[in-house]
Amino acid sequence: MKKLAIFTFLLKIIGFIIASWFLVHILSIFGVFLALAYPLWYLFGFKRIPCLWCQIKKAQFCTFSHSIFDSGLILVFTLFSLGLVFAEAKIIFKMGFPPTAKTVSFVIPTKGQYRLGEIFPMKIEISGVKTPINAVQADLGFDSKKIQIVDISTNESFANIFIQKEINNEVGYARLTGGLPNPGFFSEHGVFGSVFFKGITPGIVQIKFLPSSMVLANDGRGSNVLKDLASASYLILPEKLSQEEEEIQKSIILKPNVLGESNENTKMKFYEEKGVLGTQVVKDIEKVKKFDLGKKILEILEKIDRFILSLWARLTGLTSSFFTSRFYRA
């Protein structure tokens, strides 16, 4: 019986919270109209409407002044409700809703053909930066039976802090994670890094960015603004490189500072050179795909709050910056 009583009490609390939420949001939309209508109802003879003054003072007769009091009280409650909606919207915004617009894409060479044993670079660039970014995670998947990664270079990168550079040629995964401090990177195009592949088996091979890849905006919430995942197909020819050609390309491609001054010494690196990717990336992808009920609920709440605030911004003639753009900066 005690457990049943506790369960009943919890249900009542939950019901009260839900009812209060609906009351606040309904009042924030229609409260002003209700406040204006109260004196009109009295003037038009609807004297039997609920009177808050009479309920408070236990008065036996209702007058027009009572309806004015009721109107003012409803207006106060309405403004209070609108303030609660504003606060709720701001909290939800801090939690990442609405998300910052996804505009960024990875750009890589979409095609090419190379000989067996030839080391070729695949430069990773980003484009479509509309909001400053401060972190990038590039996760690559490839057929390790046909190509392998020799190295990942950050020599030309706009990022100057790197926390992960991991290569796993056994399962065909690679990750490069880096960024830069505030105010972040803000340019239409930028080079993040270069991956050096080596063809080991003839045939067509596809290289693609994995769903666990991210580009995080410098918006105070770390919003992922990556809108799509690039992929490329390369042809590995059966013709082999000679031993002399292999030595030459290694000295030129893998040691770029031979051709000019390297800026690698300006990079801050906090990673260890080891390949540990594979299982963890698969888990990350499954996590991205997983349905999140809480996220869906917050998305719905955000849309309701945005509708209410935008409605009153339009009705009062205030600029959208007064209500919405103070926290809706997507």
CA angle at 89 for the pair 9 and 304, rounded to the nearest 5°: 80
Q: For residues 80 and 205, what is the distance between their CA atoms, to the nearest angstrom?
A: 62
CB atoms within 10 A of CB 257: 11
Q: For residues 288 and 36, what is the distance between their CA atoms, to the nearest angstrom?
A: 49
What confidence score (pLDDT) does residue 46 get? 58
Q: For residues 136 and 126, what is the distance between their CA atoms, to the nearest angstrom?
A: 9
- pTM for the model: 0.61
Q: Collapse the DSSP code of 310 into the 3-class scheme (helix H, G, I; strand E, B; otherwise coil) and give the result.
A: helix
- Does domain 105-289 fall under CATH 2.60.40.680? My reply is yes
Q: For residues 203 and 116, what is the distance between their CA atoms, to the nearest angstrom?
A: 10
Question: In this predicted model, what pLDDT tens digit does every residue of 215-258 receive, in sequence order?
Answer: 999 887 788 999 999 999 999 999 888 778 777 777 766 665 43
Q: For residues 173 and 166, what is the distance between their CA atoms, to the nearest angstrom?
A: 8
Domain ranges of the chain: 2-94+296-323, 105-289
Question: In this predicted model, what pLDDT tens digit does every residue of 187-212 receive, in sequence order?
Answer: 989 999 999 999 999 999 999 999 99
Our CA dihedral for 47, 51, 56, 61, rounded to 10 degrees, sits at: 0
Question: In this predicted model, what pLDDT tens digit does every residue of 267-284 receive, in sequence order?
Answer: 777 666 554 444 444 454
Q: For residues 248 and 133, what is the distance between their CA atoms, to the nearest angstrom?
A: 38
Q: At what angle do helices 2-43 and 64-94 cross, to 10 degrees?
A: 130
Q: How many percent of the chain have pLDDT more than 90?
A: 41
Q: For residues 195 and 213, what is the distance between their CA atoms, to the nearest angstrom?
A: 15
CB atoms within 10 A of CB 164: 17
Q: For residues 100 and 103, what is the distance between their CA atoms, to the nearest angstrom?
A: 9
pLDDT winner (highest mean) among 173-177, 180-184, 291-295: 173-177
Average pLDDT of the segment spanning 306-324: 71
What confidence score (pLDDT) does residue 188 get? 86
Tokens standing for 251? Answer: 């000295």
